[in-house]
Amino acid sequence: MSEGVANGAGDERLSASEQVMAIKVEEEVIAFHMDHGRYFGLRGAAGLVWERIQAGTDRESAIAAEILASHRGDPDHIRADVAKAIAEMKRLGILIGG
User: For residue range 32-52, what is the model confidence (pLDDT) as tens digits?
Assistant: 999 999 999 999 999 999 999
The reply to whether 39 falls in a domain is: yes
Structural domains of the chain, count: 1
Domain region containing 76: 3-92
| Residue 5 reports pLDDT greater than 50 | no
| Residue 66 reports pLDDT greater than 90 | yes
Contact 31, 40 (CB under 8 A): yes
The reply to whether 46 falls in a domain is: yes
- C-alpha–C-alpha distance, residues 54 and 80, integer Å: 21
pLDDT category of residue 10 using cuts at 50, 70 and 90: low
The reply to whether 45 falls in a domain is: yes
pLDDT category of residue 11 using cuts at 50, 70 and 90: confident
Whole-prediction pTM: 0.86
The reply to whether 98 falls in a domain is: no
- C-alpha–C-alpha distance, residues 35 and 1, integer Å: 35
User: Residue 25's beta-bridge partner residues?
Assistant: 28
Dihedral of the alpha carbons of 91, 37, 32, 68, in degrees to the nearest 10: -10
